[in-house]
Amino acid sequence: MSKKQRNPHDKRRLTKRMVREWGWGYLFVAPWIVGVSIFFLRSMVQSLQFAFNRVELSNGVILHPLENGIFENFVKVFTTDVNFPMILANFGIGLVLQLPVIISFSLIIALLLNSKIRCRGLFRLIFFLPVIIATGPVMNQLSAQGVSSVPMVSQNALLGVLQGLPEFIYEPINNLFSSLIMILWNSGIQILIFLAGLQKVPRAMYEAAKIDGASAWETFWKITLPSVKSLILLNSIYTVVTLATGGSNEIIELIYTATYTATQGYSYAMAMSWIYTAVVAVILIIVFLLLKEKSDRKVVYEQKRVVMKGV
């Protein structure tokens, strides 16, 4: 094929070759495109339709327009279920509180695992364990037993101070401490991602810093942290997504039961899930805006990365 390219009709041949490339590209991606069109794009549209219409089930789905304004289902979610706004707010605040804990914790573990230690394999085995067993039903069983909090830590002193706070702030903080283990168990994949990133920082960079007389503290802030900064954003997004879609989530349970409850039904459940999606999207956007690198620094960072790749 490469020999054929070198004839006078080079340009036309090239486009022909490109078309063939396009074909192969689409061939590899084809199953996914079919799948995503049916099970994601079409389903998204349908669930929107459900949320903005009244659904009747008789030998298939029939949609009726709403009588009391287009947002009737959404209004219904907030007016009929008194607990929903509260649960939603708790979920949001809980997520925002858990996020920095998970991120800093997994970074610390990744740093420890990346340093020169003995029994590295054993420690890794232990730290990746949550990836395997941190799951809805198991977590429920464990937290029913009260294993979800660290036994030795006396929380009383701290909680006494917090008791003065208003309910909606106190609740999530209390949850944070009473289920600390469960939260930390959510950091398995994040540790993996940080570790993989840390291992890509070239040794030469640390050695150069050492020769220049940098202390370990300075090295951490000047080399290690900037190198994993893009991973902090990635990990934060990943954390939000997994916590929001995880099976042990109260809101998902609510949506599920609403779907099969006669008085609530499909429209109600879909309105609920779109409200939920909006909340998650807002949190994702905030996380993204907070953690994304500023444009001028990004240039420097990119340059550094090019240098690093060169090394």
Partner 1 sequence: MNAVIGKERNAAVRQNRKEKWKKRFLGSAEKRGWIGSFVVYALLIVISFIFVYPVLYMISRSLMSRSDLLDSSAMWIPSSITLHNYESAILTMDYWNSLLKNLYLAVVPTVAQVLICSAVGYGFARYNFPGKKIWMGVLILAFLLPSQTTALPNYLIFQNLRMIDGTIKPFLITSILGQGFKSTLCILIFYNFHKQTPQSLIEAAEIDGAGHIKAYFRIALPLATAAIVVVTLFSFVWYWNETYLVRNYLGYGTTRATGLTTLMLELNAFEDSYASAYTTWASSVTSSDRINDAIRMAGTVLAIAPLMIFYFVLQKQFVESVDRAGITGE
Residue 91's CB is within 10 A of a number of other CB atoms, namely 21
Is the Cβ of residue 169 or residue 285 nearer to partner 1 in the bound state? 285
Q: How far is the CB of 45 from partner 1 (least distance, A)?
A: 8
| Spatial contact of 178 and 155, defined as CB atoms under 8 Å apart | yes
Binding of partner 1 by 280 (CB under 8 A): yes
Instruction: State which of positions 128-157 bind partner 1 (CB under 8 A).
Output: 128-133, 135-138, 140-142, 144-145, 147-148, 150-151
Binding of partner 1 by 96 (CB under 8 A): no
Binding of partner 1 by 100 (CB under 8 A): no
Instruction: State which of positions 45-84 bind partner 1 (CB under 8 A).
Output: 46-47, 50, 60-61
Is the Cβ of residue 89 or residue 189 nearer to partner 1 in the bound state? 189
Residue 57, SS3? strand
Could you say which of 95, 107, 195, 232 contacts partner 1 (CB under 8 A)? 195
| Spatial contact of 106 and 235, defined as CB atoms under 8 Å apart | yes
Task: With contacts defined by CB under 8 A, name the span among 21-29, 65-73, 78-86, 87-95 that binds partner 1.
Answer: 21-29
Q: How far is the CB of 27 from partner 1 (least distance, A)?
A: 7
What is d(CA 262, CA 207) in angstroms, rounded to the nearest whole number?
67
272 phi, psi to nearest 5 deg: -60, -45
| Spatial contact of 66 and 151, defined as CB atoms under 8 Å apart | no
Could you say which of 63, 101, 230, 301 contacts partner 1 (CB under 8 A)? 230
Binding of partner 1 by 127 (CB under 8 A): yes
Could you say which of 256, 261, 292, 299 contacts partner 1 (CB under 8 A)? 256
Q: How many residues bind partner 1 (CB under 8 A)?
A: 94
Is the Cβ of residue 170 or residue 201 nearer to partner 1 in the bound state? 201
Task: With contacts defined by CB under 8 A, name the span among 4-12, 92-100, 116-124, 158-166 that binds partner 1.
Answer: 116-124
What's the distance, Cα to Cα, between the start and end of the chain in Å? 35
Binding of partner 1 by 196 (CB under 8 A): yes
Q: Which amino acid is at 163?
A: Q
Binding of partner 1 by 43 (CB under 8 A): yes
Residue 62, SS3? strand
Binding of partner 1 by 199 (CB under 8 A): yes
Instruction: Tell me which residue of 277, 197, 202, 201 sits closest to 233, measured CA to CA.
Output: 197
Q: Which amino acid is at 8?
A: P
Binding of partner 1 by 17 (CB under 8 A): no
Residue 52's CB is within 10 A of a number of other CB atoms, namely 19
Binding of partner 1 by 286 (CB under 8 A): no
What is d(CA 71, CA 90) in angstroms, rounded to the nearest whole number?
24
Binding of partner 1 by 290 (CB under 8 A): no
- Torsion angle in degrees (nearest 10) through CA of 106, 107, 113, 116: -160
What is d(CA 55, CA 66) in angstroms, rounded to the nearest whole number?
10
